[in-house]
Amino acid sequence: MRIGLMTDAYYPQIGGVSTSTSLLKNGLRKQGYKSFVVTTTDPEQPDNEENVFRVVSIPFFSAKRMTLAFHPILKRQIETMGLDLVHTQTEFGIGNFGRRIAKKNDLPHVHTFHTLYEDWINDQLRTRKGGLRQKLVHWYVRRESRRFCNAAHIVIAPTEKTKRILITYGVNVPIRVIPTGIDLNRFYETKNNLEARRNLREQYGISEDDRLLLYVGRISQEKQIERLTTYIEKRMPLWSQIHFMLVGDGPASGKVKGIIEESPHKDRIHYIGPVRMENVPQYYAAADLFLSASQSETQGLTYFEALASGLPLLVQEDACLDGVLNEENGISFHDETSFDLGLTTLLTETNEKRALRSRAAVKKAHEYGVTSFVNKVLAVYEEARSLKTGTVNRRNSMC
């Protein structure tokens, strides 16, 4: 089977869509399937990429890239590849290009719905809660998500939460829930490198007796990163051993840096900014706890990465965590009081209890390996091909 993976976000961009598409491409290759990635140009892209086709793009909001859905030269090139199936990963630009390729060439079309755009767009436009612009965003996102998803034969949703949202949008094609896998070995290997852990901590003045709290992800309003930073900063006078590290970038970085600069504890809050994908595991390995206040995740790949690194979670209650977070591998919070209680619990546990939580985290991460993820996606591909064949047969029987 030859698969076309169509995405507006791909390596070296940092984010769930990019990571998921990269893992899928590599996983398909290891199982003997040939896949081609069609994506946008990026200033940091590698010089030599196998089976990756890039189209000219321009910068968009928050380090994302934007391109048109019309690429006649690339279209002719793709039509000579003999694709058996198109798998789109985004709903605009390249996603629309992939949808058109599938329709024109009568190919099965699978789509993965990665992003809850409503929160993201409201963040970029700084809409007022309950205001006209927010209402227009709500209407537009529902309409475009429904239009795109219903053009596919099958939609993949990473969580039951996302599936429920798509159903409320009016998506009526089959929706299959497949959590995105992660390359567990990258995190297992780095977790056990105690020298690298010590070196990174020393670089930021963090001793082995200190407790390093970590956030990895977009620095943006929809991730509630300002609230999380404020919660932690307010508790630093009470906990002299805690440090907070933020890895990532986004539109709220200026506000977060402002909070840090004004804090009397700024020497214990470390804004790292964006890092290359291959370097991310070392930051997890250096940490003791993973924190997030986001409720806008379709899945939350960083939660899986943290678990694979043996980190207990202290995270905002969210439906995307159903089946992921349990009483053994972390604690959820819903407001500042419950955050305080959760942080106190995790900081004051015995070494034995911490070790149990770390083992429980790694055990849960086993469920999200790449091989399982790719096998489930391949099953959806076969289902989409069957649905496509069935549609053709029904049409022929009516003639």
Q: How confident is the model at residue 394 (pLDDT cuts 50, 70, 90)?
A: very low
Q: What angle do CA 161, 388, 375 make, to 5 degrees?
A: 55
Q: Is 61 a residue whose pLDDT tops 70?
A: no
| Judgement on whether residues 68 and 143 belong to the same structural domain of the protein | yes
How many domains in the chain?
2
Task: Give domain status of residue 398, yes or no.
Answer: no
| Judgement on whether residues 283 and 345 belong to the same structural domain of the protein | yes
| Judgement on whether residues 363 and 378 belong to the same structural domain of the protein | no
Taking residues 305-312, what's their average pLDDT? 96
Task: Give domain status of residue 394, yes or no.
Answer: no
Place of tokens 């069609």: 38
Look at residue 236 in the predicted model and tell me its pLDDT: 97
Q: Structural domain of residue 313, as residue ranges?
A: 184-367
Look at residue 124 in the predicted model and tell me its pLDDT: 63
Taking residues 183-196, what's their average pLDDT? 91
| Judgement on whether residues 275 and 311 belong to the same structural domain of the protein | yes
| Judgement on whether residues 127 and 254 belong to the same structural domain of the protein | no
| Judgement on whether residues 141 and 220 belong to the same structural domain of the protein | no
CA atoms of 350 and 348, how far apart (whole Å): 7
CA atoms of 185 and 183, how far apart (whole Å): 6
Cβ-defined contacts of 276-281 (< 8 Å, 24+) = 276/12, 277/11, 277/12, 277/14, 277/18, 277/19, 277/22, 278/186, 280/14, 280/216, 280/247, 280/305, 281/186, 281/187, 281/189, 281/190, 281/191, 281/305, 281/309
The predicted-structure confidence for 127-144, as pLDDT tens digits, reads as follows 677 788 888 888 888 999
- Residue pair 26/19 in contact (Cβ under 8 Å)? The answer is no
Task: Give domain status of residue 45, yes or no.
Answer: yes
Look at residue 66 in the predicted model and tell me its pLDDT: 61
| DSSP at 264 | T
CATH of the domain at 75: 3.40.50.2000
Q: What is the CA radius of gyration of the chain?
A: 22
CA atoms of 274 and 293, how far apart (whole Å): 19
Of the spans 32-46, 66-80, 89-103, which averages the highest pLDDT? 89-103
CA atoms of 248 and 12, how far apart (whole Å): 13
